[in-house]
Chain A
Amino acid sequence: MGAFLLLTVTTAFRILGRNRLRAGLTVLGIVIGVAAVIAMISIGQGAKAAVRAQIASMGTNVIIILSGATTTGGVRGGQGSAANLTVADAQDLKKKIPLLADTGWGKRDVMQIVYGNKNWNAPVNGISPSYLTIRDWSFAGGVSFTQTDMDVAARVALLGQTVVDTLFEPGEEPVGATIRLKNVPFTVIGVLATKGQSSQGTDQDDVVFIPFTTAERKVLGTQFLGSIGAIFASTDRTEDLPQAVEAVREVLRARHRLQAEQADDFTIRTQVDIGKVQEGTGQTLTLMMFAIASISLLVGGIGIMNILLVSVTERTKEIGVRMAVGAKRRHILLQFLIEAMTLSLFGGLLGIVLGILSARATTVIVGWPTIISLESIAAAFLFSLFVGLFFGLYPANKASRLNPIDALRYE
């Protein structure tokens, strides 16, 4: 059987090599289909990785609790308009829920930032020091503020990279400089590392952080002491998130004295929810491209079947001779199946090369990130083998069922 397979495979190569143009045109469908599969998977995986990196930039395992909506005289104020979250809520959450690694809080407002003769409008956030830890935000220069700064409501500020770029000349050292918020002077003590775009598309680096107490007393003002816009909490492990979210909801409902029939007066969001939406979009795109690639592979397979049927007719006499000297049905069947699989594998290999090249080209020309995975290459390889097997079966079976007398007499 070994000698038989070896000779059959070399015969298949020789026959296909004889009709190079025909073989090339035949496998074109497979080439395009496989190339499309490889390219689309690498683009899809590149996009997915980019989304994951964005989500991770928010800090992983983060729970965000926003205060609820107000309704005044029929006008509903929107998320965060009701100042019904407090510092006490945040501190109580940490005390009562052991799953939470840390909690932080903040309130924000967009206002003018003045430095020398330049100004810029950006969100100013009054935060607890733990906020930066939860968001996993590192420093490009300087230091963060401390609990002491919080206690004394120190006039110190941390700047995001975008704010630094706008207000300072290149090469100018921001740390130590004095900026003004609502005419209150602040000393810049730190510059944050770049985070880039958030998963919603906003520039996370266009930001100023000051101690929460300073913001409350000197800059942002307050509706009542300790009112905050949002609470941030984190867990050590991602799988603890759903359980932690439920615990947070329970504690807050109890603290806010909500009856069973009343809706939450706050909103809880996690990175997992945001990620799901993004990946869902990606999956729809991948599915669509997969459908296109499948059609292309189907057409390619039919092309192979067509050319094999022609080949069976052309070589009817040869099949007759082979049968006369003792070829059994399975020998003829195997010969044509191997020819079909050689064709489709050849197409598959070409397609893999073309797919990798087009993925690379996409990265270079359009600038989209692409990841070429070994799995997708293996899958494309196996799939093209399967296409050859599937579409070769009919012509091969037809050849093997020829009557030797009729085949020998065929002209």
Chain B
Amino acid sequence: MGSLIECRDLWKVYRLGDVQVQALRGVTLDIQRGEFLSIMGASGSGKSTLMNIIGCLDSPTKGTYRLSDTDVGSFDSDALAEVRNRQIGFIFQNFNLIPRTSALENVQLPLFYRGLPLREQRARAAEALARVGLAGREQHYPAQLSGGQQQRVAIARALVSAPSILLADEPTGNLDTESSREIMAVLEGLNRDEGITVIVVTHEADIAAYTSREIIIKDGQIVTDRAKTREPLTVTRDQ
């Protein structure tokens, strides 16, 4: 069995009017199961494009992308939706919860589209909320929760489908330092205790510092890819 993620010479070329934009220019990357890594880069470096391809939201122009030994490059939109539903959990910078819909129902969403019975959807969603420390908040609406809590609902939604990868795009970008630390602690714990592969896309070095492998992208190419010994976390969960 190969790597969880296998990128071979990925190119992504857009046309913006008359201008050709080469967002990715030959990215080759392997990610193993259970890794906790960060992808860093300035805006316009191509890191979002790479994340979209890894997350099966987009397809490369050239090159192959294999996820769990399956070449997903040729999948149509419905097949990609199926892959996202079962293998990938997204966490966004601005949480992207559905407004005026309870935390429980937000977390249910991936299971809803999988077509599970309602009872099972509810049970698994409640369990996922408990795992991120939000038991008892099932019926709260996003607007009634703090930023950190909303992001934890989003993590629960990503977790509920038992994916192989958690893909976090600037997960702390809209949070204060304290909440940021909490969220990173949750992700770190999920990686350490449950062996879930976590990929964090960020432009902040102190967020990347939580991870054990750092990839830096510049102008559509990987310029740095290094493993680190992770510094022990010194997060105190006050409040």
Contact = CB atoms under 8 A, between A and B. Distances in A.
B115 A3 contact: yes
A320 B121 CA distance: 21
14 contacts: A3-B117, A3-B121, A317-B96, A318-B99, A321-B109, A322-B98, A322-B113, A325-B84, A325-B113, A326-B82, A326-B113, A328-B81, A329-B78, A408-B96
A254 interface: no
Nearest to A325: B110
Given A326-B85, A328-B81, A3 B113 contact: no
A324 B90 contact: yes
Given A325-B84, A405-B58, A408-B96, A1 B77 contact: no
Interface in A48-99: none
B113 A331 contact: yes
A325 B86 contact: no
Contacts of A327: 81, 113
A322 B101 CA distance: 13
A321 to B, nearest CB: 5
Contacts of A318: 98-99
Contacts of B55: 324
Interface in B104-153: 109-110, 112-118, 121
A392 B98 CA distance: 22
Given A3-B112, A318-B98, A325-B110, A405 B118 contact: no
The 8 closest A-B pairs by CB, nearest first: A326-B85, A325-B110, A326-B113, A3-B118, A328-B81, A321-B96, A328-B78, A327-B113
Given A3-B112, A3-B118, A326-B86, 15 more contacts: A3-B121, A6-B118, A14-B100, A18-B100, A318-B99, A321-B96, A323-B81, A323-B84, A325-B109, A325-B110, A325-B113, A325-B161, A404-B57, A405-B58, A408-B96
B114 A326 contact: yes
B181 interface: no
Interface string A383-411: 00000000000000000000011001000
A18 B121 CA distance: 25
Interface of A: 1, 3-4, 6-7, 14, 18, 317-318, 320-329, 331, 404-405, 408
Contacts of B113: 4, 322, 325-328, 331
Interface residues of B, number: 30
B115 A324 contact: no
Count chain B CB atoms within 10 A of each CB in A18, A325, A328, A331 and give the residue with the most: A325
Nearest to B85: A326
A6 B105 CA distance: 13
B52 interface: yes
Count chain A CB atoms within 10 A of each CB in B55, B86, B96, B99 and give the residue with the most: B96
B117 A329 contact: no
Contacts of B58: 405
Contacts of A323: 81, 84
Nearest to A324: B90
A325 B100 CA distance: 18
B104 to A, nearest CB: 12
Given A326-B85, A328-B78, A329-B78, A4 B112 contact: yes
B118 A324 contact: no
Nearest to B98: A318
Contacts of B112: 3-4, 7
Nearest to A15: B100
A3 B105 CA distance: 13
